[in-house]
Amino acid sequence: MKRRTIVVSLLAFHLTLLGTIAPAIADQWELLGERNVRLVTERDVIRVSSKKQYARLKLKVRETGIEILSMTIILGNGRTLNPPLRQYIGRGSESRVIDIPGRDRTIHSVTLVYRSRPGSTERAIVQLYGKTR
């Protein structure tokens, strides 16, 4: 009887633990793609291969800061979104969260236009993250 109580208690504990971990895992940001950006050019495209539906996007920047002038999101159905994102994103920082409206929220690609620095040899790594909820 005592052994049965212990087994039932352990099972209940594991089920409770799974109930709290699963939503947390589903609520994490997923890396969709990245570009090694040379600050000499002014435009780069991040292609996304995932077929998931994303509710939110954000950018993270590594190596050196970058001034984003505009962002164009191309959805899987061909629809284009141009969220207002004129922002300097410092090294190690991230953009604000961009909400994706509508039902079809599969991301085909994201085009970034940014300020160039003529003669610059600097590079930034721009990462695109998505969240399904």
Q: Is residue 23 part of a domain?
A: no
Q: Is 80 exceeded by the pLDDT of residue 82?
A: yes
Q: Is residue 4 part of a domain?
A: no
Q: Is residue 115 part of a domain?
A: yes
Look at the alpha carbons of 35, 38, 39, 42 in this order and tell me if their dihedral is positive or negative. negative
d(CA 96, CA 61): 12
What does each C-alpha distance from 78 to 35, 72, 98 come to in angstroms? 22, 12, 18
pLDDT for 40: 77
pLDDT (tens digit per residue) in 23-71: 444 469 999 999 998 887 789 999 999 999 999 999 999 998 999 999 9
d(CA 89, CA 67): 6
CATH code, domain carrying 93: 2.60.120.1380
pTM over 0.95: no
Which tokens belong to 107? 């991301």
Q: Is 80 exceeded by the pLDDT of residue 22?
A: no
Q: Is residue 9 part of a domain?
A: no
Q: Is residue 5 part of a domain?
A: no
Residues 6+ apart with CB under 8 A from 60: 89, 93, 94, 95, 126, 127, 129
Total domain count, the chain: 1
